[in-house]
Each structure stands twice: as C-alpha cells, then as structure tokens.
A and B are shown apart, each in its own frame.
Chain A
Amino acid sequence: MTAQVTWLALAAVTLAGAAGVVSTREIMRLVISLGTFLLGVAGFFAYYALPFLAVAEVFVYVGGVLVLFLFAIMAHKPDEEGRRLLGARFDVGVAVTCSGLFVLLLVTLRPLAGLLSLTPLVSSGPEAVAGVLLGPLLPLFELLGALLLAALVAGIAIAGKGDAE
C-alpha cells in the first residue's frame, strides 16, 4: 500500500513537472518545472532500488544541467515588466499526432507489461554497475568519455566563436 502511494506520488510529481516544462511561458517557472521533473526521475530510480543512478541524476542534472540552464537564462533580456517570457502555442495537429504515438506505444509495449512491477525490487548495487562498465560495456564507457570531452570542447569553441563575432 505504501509502495503504491509512493509510486503514485512520484508519478504525479514527474507528470506535473513535465506539463510545466511544456506549457509555461515564464522562463523561471520552466526551470523550476524541469527541476521538479528531474527530481521525480531521481525519485523513480531510488524507488526501483537503483541508488547509484538516483545520485548520478541529482548530481548531473539537478546540480549541473539546471545550473547551465540558469546561466543561459541570465543572458535572456527581460521585457518592460521585468519578466522573461517564452513563446507558447497550442497546435491541434501536433496534439493529435502525439496522442496517436501514445496509443501506438501502449499497444506495442503491452506484451512487456507483465515484466514490470509497481513494487520495488532488490537490485544490484554500484559494485555491479562498475563491473559492467569496466567489463562488457568498457568500449561504450570509453566512447562516452571521449564524447563528453568532445562536447566540452565544442561548447567552448561555439561560445568562443560567438564572442569573436
């Protein structure tokens, strides 16, 4: 019973955050909604007994990417009332397309539903994750390291080129 209430609470927080990201016009509300969504995702990781992923999500996203978003938003010029507003519109065609995709996903993934459970299960800890990353997934792990370095260099190069222009 407690597990189901926790799951529903996490689902509500995550959905509310995602709805805020998609619909709000105030830029700070968008960041707060994104933070709420990401905390909900970290909560799901903790719920499914994956503490390593939960901590990584909080450190990388709530602590890192959100700060990057705040820095980018500081560059936005406020309007006359001192607010930083974003464009938002409702598109019926896109809404219908996304609803169709939702139904298609449900129909396609339905055979897998029996595998999943709402109740938390005992899972493997950080030692097992380290064993996988330094074992069978080592090439992927190395590739991701190179990708992060490339992204860092690209970010500096793009921002620096903008400075020059």
Chain B
Amino acid sequence: MTSSVSIRDLSLNFGAVSVLQHLDLEIADGEFLVLLGASGCGKSTLLNCIAGLLDISDGQIFIKGKNVTWEEPKDRGIGMVFQSYALYPQMTVEKNLSFGLQVAKVPQVEIDKRVARAAEILQIQPLLKRKPAELSGGQRQRVAIGRALVRDVDVFLFDEPLSNLDAKLRSELRVEIKRLHQSLKNTMIYVTHDQIEALTLADRIAVMKGGVIQQLADPMTIYGTPENLFVAGFIGSPSMNFFRGSIGRKDGRPVVDVGGVAFDLSRYPSRAPLKDGQAVVLGVRPEHIRVDEPVEGLVSHPATVEIEEPMGADNLLWLKLAGQPISVRIAGQRRYAPNTPVTLGFDMASASLFDAGTENRL
C-alpha cells in the first residue's frame, strides 16, 4: 500500500488558538478518506492545509512522495471542490473548466480534449455554453467537480460538496461521487459533517474533534466498535443509547449495574479485565435491542412504550428503562401503541462499554 498523501506532525495555530496539534495521517493510493466531525472540529482546516490554502505552523505534508509543505496550491497536484461551488460567475461552464489550464498555459488542443472528457464523464456537455447562474445546484456542483477533473490530478479534495443541495439531489450526487471514485481510482479526501455521507462513501473515516482524530478506521469498525464515547455518540442516527452505571457482580458473573437494573457482561468482548465498582457508560445501538423476541443469549428487561415514530421501513420506539429514555429500532410493520408493556432484549455482544472517566472503550 503506497502512500498518496502523508501528513506528519502537523500543527496549526491562529495566534494563540491552536486548531490542529501534532496530527499524523497516512492516506493510501486510491483511498477514499472522509474527515468527519461537527463544525469547528478542524476538518476543513486540515483540508485547507493539505490544499496549501493555509500556511501551517509546524509539520510536513507529502503528496505522492513529494514534500509539498512549502509548495503553492497549484503545484501540489490537487483539485478541490467547495461547498458553495465557487464557480466563476462571469465565465461560461466551459471557461470555468478551462480557466486553470489556460493559466497553466496548456495547449488549446489539450484543453479542449480534457474539457470534453470531463464533460462526458459528468454528463454536462449540454451546459458548456451556459453561465453558472443558469444552472441548478446539482449542475453547478457537477461543474465544480469537473473543474477538479480537468486538472488531471492525483488527489481530489472535497469540502462539504453536498451540503448546499437538497436531500434528493444530495443522495443522487453521493452515488455519483462514489461511481466517479470507482472509475477514476484517484485518492479522495472528503470533508463532511454528514455521517450518512461518511459511512456510504468512505474506505476509511477519520472522526475528528477539537483538532484531534478520535478514530481512524473503516466505516463498519467505526460504527460497530467506536473507540470512545464521542465517536459512539456522533455516529448513528438515532444515536446510541447510553446508560451510566458501575461494574458489579451477580451470580458470579460481571454485570453493569444501571440504577438497579443489571446488564450481564459475560458475552461482552472486553479488552481489559473489568474492575468491580468501576464507573462505566454502557452503549447499545437502537437496532441491537429486540422487542418481545425471546432469542437465546439476550439480556432481558421489561419496559413500557412511550412514543412510536413510524418511518416507513423502520419503526422507532421510545421507551423508558430505569428512568432513562431509550430508543429501539424495529421493523416498520411492527406497531406498538403507547403504554404497551414489552420485554426488551439487549444484544450485549454488539454493545459498547466505555470508562466513565477516560471515555475510552473498555
């Protein structure tokens, strides 16, 4: 696995404010990496540093094995797509696509060839003579992607490219970006705050918070075994159910005691031995709780349905257990009226357990 983009010990400070601290990141050739985090977590800043639009305070950036730390953006072999499209309003689509090439004094024949190819890949040939103002949001973003495409670069940078689009277009263009990546096989770095985009597109996701990468792994690992409480709570919608409690023993087996309700941990694959009395947070995803299904090996507790949210394919139940609200995802055709007493079955093998103090996975 050769490295396409390599970030070593990167730090960035704005005056006294430290935005990124000693960040290391290796991105493989042809990989689709998503930087995911809430706004202000430093993900766009990191992307701007890779692009060379922000001068870094410390560290090094390598692209394709070349040290580009001090290079101008145009010399880094990158193309970038912005949230607001950033098309030049006074130029036609064709001029928008060819502007960078003309600045670089590429011969006209070559420019025409590359523009034609990009237009074909993105199916924007009929739009070439139009101005950006005459395009819809989705068409504009396609042109913006085309502008990165014609540059024939190794690395594509996407800065929340779909956030300005409506839901339907967003899912369409998401598929299109994935298709583009599969056919071009370029390295792509994609910044988003949308976990669905991250989970569907990424080869690997870097979840960021406060300028630090919290977890870097493939989507299933991030979803299934989050490294800490932040990642667990950030990924998944509706989010994971959390129960604060402490480690105890019942009938000789380790349990989490949540306000008198015990969760048997004998099926939980813990990484380290659990200490009695240790304060912990138990996390269970809504789909890892069964309702009225007597399956072998589940930890069962009675609860009462409070609210039902039917969503078509799924049905989301809100219940109360040990005084805490919890959400459970069940199949769409199974309906429950409010105040129905049910039995919940917790799949402890898929659950997550975090230390209440360090918030790291146990």
Q: Do A and B bind each other?
A: no
Point out residues on B near A: beta carbons under 8 Å: none
Point out residues on A near B: beta carbons under 8 Å: none
